[in-house]
Structure 1
């Protein structure tokens, strides 16, 4: 009898420990020095186990928008736009998520690719192709931990709009799902409209995957190689006005 009770107790403890270790990192309390933040979410980890962090801002229940930067580690300047939104005053009129650093290993190394040497914007499972060189697409579609984390996050929050910030092509892509939205983004950020066709077909991109599989729409925004301080500091209020939001 005592053996049976001990076995039951050990089983109960094992289940409890499993639940604790599997608990998601969602709904972490907002840092007190960041009044705009509702919650901080670690959506996954990079190859080198660095956290990929999403910050929830604004008002839940409003239009849901996601801003992503530093998908390529050597294109880090636009992350300042997202950090400014995160670190400023409370935002109203929009349900906003920002991921300032999507490729933390690449940012740490100053390289386009992740620590496996894969271009994350060629690794998504939509029109994926086996690419080499600068656009190394990985051993298979969706092979990278960063890709898996982002796909799971997008499926969970289901944003209506995504803006993915890059460098250095200087323009807003109109070769996308919602060209009218692309033009509005271009006007708001004072950037030209361009068609980023990757020389034919853009294989395995995050925006392509999202636009194909989700109801919402995603667009790529490219700043120049050396965006001015004025460009970066003026972008946050312009983005808020674009979506009818305010601080």
Structure 2
């Protein structure tokens, strides 16, 4: 990772309106820097190098990112995001298992277990304003309403802006966005070979994941339009086994990226 998160994150300005189709700096938010409370929290979890509030939801709930593993030459930077849709609550077990285990080596890993804390609290797909966050990113965005409503404008939601700001600073080599209730690893990526590797590691089929409604404004589309890494969507089914999410998948992901405990 070329840029370390820390005090530099606070220098990002709070967002304004989109100025061009490729302008992302206008959306930047200011994630919080670590505090004494953060230090105490990370001390309770040996794998956590750094805990950070990267932004807040519509209802002012914190969006937390946990830095795990180590940095170094040849070590990949990976970001794992889950529960972008609040009613997809089981899938957060994967990043939480990575966070709560022993110290990790061999991979520079960030996990965001809950991107949509308001939706999680309300058990809804959308955020507190009824917006589907995975239709709200400013790449291929179109205005839609209803269950998959994209919001009044691109990146209108604080959760979206927080994630954009975070990813622009971390600049991961790989981004995995975990979802439910479909089943499979999406092939629509800059590097389909990466999708196939994840498919084999997690014992999931590869497929072209079908979006509900208009399939634009997704996080992976935005990431691959603005950053050089690869981003994929992984769908884990409606009722995945807890052992799969808490044990098998975390171990498989560490092996895939050269990490170990």
Whether TM exceeds 0.5 here: the answer is yes
Would you say 1:104 and 2:124 are equivalent positions?
A: no
Corresponding residue for 1:242?
Answer: 256
1:58-90 CA distance string (max 9 Å, x none):
002321100000000000111111101101000
SS at 2:190's partner residue? Answer: coil
Corresponding residue for 2:51?
Answer: 40
TM-score (norm: length of structure 2): 0.84
Corresponding residue for 1:89?
Answer: 102
In the alignment, the residues of structure 1 paired with residue 125 and residue 31 of structure 2 have an alpha-carbon distance, to the nearest angstrom, of: 29
TM-score (norm: length of structure 1): 0.88
Q: How many residues align?
A: 227
Q: Is the 8 A contact 2:32 2:53 kept in 1?
A: yes
Would you say 1:26 and 2:33 are equivalent positions?
A: yes
In the alignment, the residues of structure 1 paired with residue 189 and residue 213 of structure 2 have an alpha-carbon distance, to the nearest angstrom, of: 14
SS at 1:31's partner residue? Answer: helix
Corresponding residue for 1:161?
Answer: 174
1:100-127 CA distance string (max 9 Å, x none):
0000000000000000000000000000
Consecutive unaligned residues of structure 1, counting only runs of 5 or more, are 1-18
In the alignment, the residues of structure 2 paired with residue 206 and residue 48 of structure 1 have an alpha-carbon distance, to the nearest angstrom, of: 21
SS at 1:147's partner residue? Answer: helix
1:54-65 pair list within 5 angstroms: 54-61=65-72, 62-65=75-78
Query: Of residues 66, 71, 86 in structure 2, which corresponds to 1:73?
Result: 86
Query: Of residues 187, 212, 231 in structure 2, which corresponds to 1:218?
Result: 231
1:183-198 pair list within 5 angstroms: 183-198=196-211
Consecutive unaligned residues of structure 2, counting only runs of 5 or more, are 1-10, 15-29
In the alignment, the residues of structure 1 paired with residue 144 and residue 133 of structure 2 have an alpha-carbon distance, to the nearest angstrom, of: 12
Would you say 1:124 and 2:137 are equivalent positions?
A: yes
Q: Is the 8 A contact 2:148 2:212 kept in 1?
A: no
1:36-73 CA distance string (max 9 Å, x none):
00010100000000000000000023211000000000
The offset of 1:27, in angstroms, is 3.9
The offset of 1:199, in angstroms, is 7.0
1:1-12 pair list within 5 angstroms: none
Aligned residues: CA RMSD: 1.7
Q: Is the 8 A contact 1:167 1:225 kept in 2?
A: yes
1:150-170 CA distance string (max 9 Å, x none):
100011110010000000111
In the alignment, the residues of structure 1 paired with residue 219 and residue 190 of structure 2 have an alpha-carbon distance, to the nearest angstrom, of: 13
Corresponding residue for 1:207?
Answer: 220
1:8-41 CA distance string (max 9 Å, x none):
xxxxxxxxxxx9xx99523442522100000101
In the alignment, the residues of structure 2 paired with residue 153 and residue 244 of structure 1 have an alpha-carbon distance, to the nearest angstrom, of: 23
